[in-house]
Amino acid sequence: MKTYPVVIIGGGMAGASLALALANAGIKNAVFEAIAPETNEQPGFDDRTVALSAASLNILKKLGLDKDLYSVAAPIKTIHVSDQGHCGFARIDAAECGVPALGAVIENWQLGQALNQAISNQSLIEYHAPAKVVDIQQSADEATLRIELNGETEEVKAGLVVLADGARSPLRQQLHIDAQINDYLKSAIVCNLTTQLPHQNCAYERFTQDGPLALLPLTKNRMALVWSKPTKEANELVALDEAEFAAKLEEAFGARLGKITKVGSRKSFPLIQLKAETLFRGRCVLIGNAAQSLHPIAGQGFNLGLRDVADLTELLATAKSSIVDDEQALMKTVGSYQLLRQYQQKRHPDREQTLWVTESLARLFSNSWLPLSISRNLLLKAMDTAPVAKGLFASQAMGFGFNNSQMASHEE
């Protein structure tokens, strides 16, 4: 029976990032992913986009991915926030914050390609797909997993099992970890498009009475759309032809970028916010969407999950540094109650703050009630003119709000 210090269930963006981070720290691990990467059906690596915060870019740089990503990612130099039908707005510039960029935007498949290539070059990672974990049994010192792989059922042992299998994680449910779920009864329309005027590396967030509309800069002067609408309306918009859809979008966004000249294929995804009641049970720990799933209004979903990766990696690397050539001791330590409790405590402030900010923004800027509308426009004006408020917003957007991991910092 094969034995690993760490087994990761799920090879999407969070799981793959953790596998690479652990290998870079000298920790052998195995990844079991349900979908083979060559099928191009991995939902974590589809044609959606992700806005990487400055903290996330630091983490990915420390994973050795900066050269792969910088050629295909579009830097965010400015963030422009506005409210449809009102004059209040806020603008944040990278130069004002003393950084070269507030973040960057990349298509998921490009990030997945870079992660998978790096994993294939790592001797400390065993990657298995397609594979399905059907059962986990835990004892005081180890976990035993039953896995369907290559048409057979195998068993492996692990000191720590990391659940990175998404928001609807079946293994989280098997472990009886409850989750608070808020169904917004809305969907996000996503697509790539081009506009008449250049985006100049500005990310736009426009709030409408139905929800936020974000246009994010991509390379080759393309933009990525994330548009929140009630699910019925979202489905109707997706079904429109290109010209009709462009007209509806121009009506909602305004004329800042001129006409929308081309719209790519459109998809919609349901919006929920999910929060697991605990980040670990026994020798199993949650990261990424298995731990929490966010409304896209602040673009913090994967960024928060990547900070899960950073904090867990640093704790495991510290634990390994005190153990020399003793695999049994390492197995016992990496999944210990003390270490996982420390992980949960370390993640608490960043996780709670990010979830609270995201939920508050979703409620504040998706309501047409007049007093609330006036309040949020005053808030936007204050944010634009008050250095302290602007600094706090920028810090949160860049991923530095309540996170103190070394991997996320600018330090090498």
| Mean model confidence pLDDT for the chain | 89
Domain that holds residue 357: 2-50+107-181+272-368
Instruction: Read off the pLDDT band of 104 (50, 70, 90).
Output: very high
Within a domain: 13: yes
- Residues found in the chain: 412
Instruction: Read off the pLDDT band of 370 (50, 70, 90).
Output: very low
pLDDT reported for residue 379: 59
Tens digits of residue pLDDT in 290-332: 999 998 876 788 999 999 999 999 999 999 998 878 889 999 9
Within a domain: 305: yes
Least confident of 220-229, 354-363, 371-380: 371-380
Tens digits of residue pLDDT in 166-184: 999 999 999 999 999 999 8
Q: Which residue has the higher pLDDT, 128 or 387?
A: 128
Instruction: Read off the pLDDT band of 88 (50, 70, 90).
Output: low
Structure tokens at 320: 């390994």
Dihedrals φ, ψ of 396, to 5°?
-65, -45
Within a domain: 111: yes
pLDDT reported for residue 374: 54
What is the arithmetic mean of pLDDT over 15-28?
A: 98
Virtual torsion, Cα 376, 381, 384, 387, nearest 10 deg: -90
CA angle 208–245–247, rounded 5-degree value:
75
pLDDT reported for residue 369: 47
pLDDT reported for residue 40: 59
Provide the number of structural domains found in the chain: 1
pLDDT reported for residue 380: 59
Dihedrals φ, ψ of 264, to 5°?
-80, -175
Within a domain: 73: no
Within a domain: 354: yes
Omega before 217 cis (within 30°)?
no
Whole-model pTM above 0.85? yes
pLDDT reported for residue 91: 84
3-class DSSP assignment, residue 103: strand
CA separation for the pair 167, 296 (Å, rounded): 14
3-class DSSP assignment, residue 397: helix
Tens digits of residue pLDDT in 64-84: 998 888 889 999 999 998 876
Within a domain: 44: yes
Residue pointed to by tokens 């302290």: 388
Dihedrals φ, ψ of 123, to 5°?
-75, -15
Q: HSE of 72 in the Cβ direction (CA atoms, 13 Å)?
A: 16
3-class DSSP assignment, residue 270: strand
Helices (H) and strands (E) in the chain, counts: 13, 20
**Most confident listed range (239-248, 291-300, 375-384):** 239-248
CA separation for the pair 271, 393 (Å, rounded): 23
Is 276 in contact with 284 (CB distance < 8 Å)? no
CATH number of the domain encompassing residue 135: 3.50.50.60
Within a domain: 144: yes
pLDDT reported for residue 384: 56
Within a domain: 89: no
What is the arithmetic mean of pLDDT over 370-377?
A: 53
Instruction: Read off the pLDDT band of 151 (50, 70, 90).
Output: confident
What is the arithmetic mean of pLDDT over 152-177?
A: 96
CA separation for the pair 15, 127 (Å, rounded): 11
pLDDT reported for residue 198: 96
